[in-house]
Chain A
């Protein structure tokens, strides 16, 4: 029987699941209430956030499979903010295509629940199930616009490559179990610390699990799916997909990095992960320059950004972990802000979202354009926005750890990236409106999402120490 502590540990998730259930039932039995699905989702996410912040956190729960503490609270909060903003912007977006159904929101909530389980599990069993819950819901959400070819293509591509990656992860978990006799990451770490030799099976198992996570993060060389999937998915789903799985996968990698003490285990990990990190940054930034579709550009930008975050994972320790946590928070708000504006500035789902279509919008829709510009500046890492603070903490932790080459290459890459982010701002303000004024979506709700995200980007950028001190407390729990 689950104890009270066990139930407290999953209270936010239980609220989410109940909300998803209500949404599904409304859709089936009271179709007239369907139009408030978006609001119900917001309410569910807010309820889960309340449970997260107000209820006690028992620490280890469910026979040591989960850990509910400051770390899980911080990550779950980011995930809940993400689902809140994404479902808020999804309402008007789906209504335009006449596709508002409860299932969309229920699947969005299921995906968030999966990510939350992934981020707070220290046992590979619930972790893998969380990963699958997240993935299965996302496969369907990608292809949600069934009559749009690119949407179906996105769903199919993500499904095939994702299933392959999941199989690798499962096989890796089996090998890790064979090598250590446990599926608990922390216990595994302790057996290693006890002087047990690092066996090839352990390395093979970890490499496979790490590969599965790298797929979710779209790190080089596991990135090939990203551009098509980003481009084809409905924009609110792209926003969700670009932050939620990444936050969860980063936490999983961090847990391994710290439990196994990978930094001190030998140079091969630092080299392998370093090449993946720098490769992602370089490939992402250089290929992003030649993109004409803004969603594809942001896909490559996402590849590069996860490359920066990987530097924090390599550094690990308190400094690296807290830097990664700040990165997750900053990346969540700046990316969702960007996608919110993109979903406003599109005529319909089947058309490509060309960057040149944004010409002149800076003057005809000043507020939305301002929000997009703030996101772009932040993604480029320009102070005083959140992206700068996040990158600063990452690179500082690398320098302090003596990994100066990672920091230098990261900074060079971030300079390259400024070109394509600022080009968007240039086109917004410096190019004239086209003769045929595009018929873009007008929605206060999506505007509000963009506004809230931009405000958070500025707030985190101006007062990074607030987030950083919370991240530090959480990181200390992780390192312990």
Chain B
């Protein structure tokens, strides 16, 4: 059962992931991305990470995607150039390189035996409690660094977006 759910979710994620970058209409790109995010949430749930799955839905499928949609609708972008419509040689080389990297990663992952100590499916209970606990103990430094990063991004966005009044 678990395997089938995973396979279905993974297939959905791949198909709609391709659609998200390949379709001409930006609206369809973004809506395909929603499907990808839902599929990823399903995979997290299958792995026993209930909390992560919920966060994925709320933050990405909910907030981030709505923002994308707003921006696209406000800017009224109807269509974008098709994939690979730039220089031909560049497109061919790019495609070859991506295929090579993709193949290398697939081969690498196919031969992987997960390391001891890596988080096993469901081992953390999948609830907010162990995640919150680790954020406040062992992972306190990265947690605080994220807040600093967000401040820097906020200040940066204001600097770029503000009208010059002086």
User: Nearest chain B CB to A149's CB is how many angstroms away?
Assistant: 15
A contact residues, range: 35 or more
Decide if B153 is an interface residue (CB 8 Å cutoff).
Answer: yes
Contact with A along B149-166 (1 / 0, CB 8 A): 101110111111000101
Interface segment among A68-76, A138-146, A435-443: the answer is A138-146
- Please, which residues of chain B bring their CB within 8 A of the CB of A63? 137-141
Q: Can you list 25 pairs linking A and B with CB atoms under 8 Å apart?
A: A6-B141, A10-B141, A17-B148, A62-B140, A66-B141, A103-B155, A107-B152, A107-B155, A126-B145, A129-B146, A130-B145, A132-B149, A133-B148, A136-B149, A136-B153, A147-B164, A178-B115, A179-B112, A181-B116, A199-B108, A199-B113, A200-B107, A200-B108, A203-B108, A204-B108
Specify the chain A residue showing the minimal Cβ separation from B134. A63
Decide if A356 is an interface residue (CB 8 Å cutoff).
Answer: no
Contact with B along A113-152 (1 / 0, CB 8 A): 1100100000101100110110011011001101100000
Decide if B109 is an interface residue (CB 8 Å cutoff).
Answer: yes
- In the assembled complex, the Cα of A175 lies from the Cα of B104 at a distance in Å of 12
Decide if B86 is an interface residue (CB 8 Å cutoff).
Answer: no
Decide if B2 is an interface residue (CB 8 Å cutoff).
Answer: no
Are A178 and B141 touching (Cβ within 8 A)? no
- Please, which residues of chain B bring their CB within 8 A of the CB of A181? 114-118
Decide if A106 is an interface residue (CB 8 Å cutoff).
Answer: yes
Are A204 and B156 touching (Cβ within 8 A)? no
Are B159 and A178 touching (Cβ within 8 A)? no
- In the assembled complex, the Cα of A155 lies from the Cα of B160 at a distance in Å of 10
Are B145 and A199 touching (Cβ within 8 A)? no
- Please, which residues of chain A bring their CB within 8 A of the CB of B62? none
User: Which 5 A-B residue pairs are closest in the complex by CB-CB distance?
Assistant: A181-B117, A181-B115, A140-B156, A200-B108, A181-B118
Are B145 and A136 touching (Cβ within 8 A)? no
Q: Which of A24, A139, A182, A201 contacts B112 (CB 8 A)?
A: A201
Given contacts A103-B159, A107-B156, A199-B112, contact A125 B149 (CB under 8 A): no
Are A177 and B118 touching (Cβ within 8 A)? yes
Are B117 and A65 touching (Cβ within 8 A)? no
- In the assembled complex, the Cα of A130 lies from the Cα of B145 at a distance in Å of 8
User: Nearest chain B CB to A271's CB is how many angstroms away?
Assistant: 17
Q: Which of B137, B145, B151, B158 has the most CB of A within 10 A?
A: B145
Specify the chain B residue showing the minimal Cβ separation from A121. B141
Decide if A195 is an interface residue (CB 8 Å cutoff).
Answer: no
Contact with B along A202-216 (1 / 0, CB 8 A): 011000000000000
Q: Which of B112, B113, B142 has the most CB of A within 10 A?
A: B142
- In the assembled complex, the Cα of A175 lies from the Cα of B117 at a distance in Å of 14
Are B148 and A204 touching (Cβ within 8 A)? no
Contact with B along A179-197 (1 / 0, CB 8 A): 1111000000001000000
User: Nearest chain A CB to B115's CB is how many angstroms away?
Assistant: 3
Q: Which of A17, A107, A136, A182 has the most CB of B within 10 A?
A: A136
- In the assembled complex, the Cα of A139 lies from the Cα of B160 at a distance in Å of 10
Contact with B along A38-64 (1 / 0, CB 8 A): 000000000000000000000000110
Specify the chain B residue showing the minimal Cβ separation from A140. B156
- Please, which residues of chain B bring their CB within 8 A of the CB of A143? 160
Are A126 and B108 touching (Cβ within 8 A)? no
Decide if B105 is an interface residue (CB 8 Å cutoff).
Answer: yes
- Please, which residues of chain A bring their CB within 8 A of the CB of B116? 181
Q: Which of A17, A126, A130, A180 has the most CB of B within 10 A?
A: A126
User: Nearest chain A CB to B30's CB is how many angstroms away?
Assistant: 18
Contact with B along A156-186 (1 / 0, CB 8 A): 0000000000000000000101111110000
Decide if B123 is an interface residue (CB 8 Å cutoff).
Answer: no
- Please, which residues of chain B bring their CB within 8 A of the CB of A126? 141-142, 145
Q: Which of A110, A123, A146, A182 contacts B152 (CB 8 A)?
A: A110
Decide if B76 is an interface residue (CB 8 Å cutoff).
Answer: no
Decide if A2 is an interface residue (CB 8 Å cutoff).
Answer: yes
Are B118 and A65 touching (Cβ within 8 A)? no
Decide if A98 is an interface residue (CB 8 Å cutoff).
Answer: yes
Given contacts A65-B142, A147-B164, A178-B115, contact A201 B155 (CB under 8 A): no
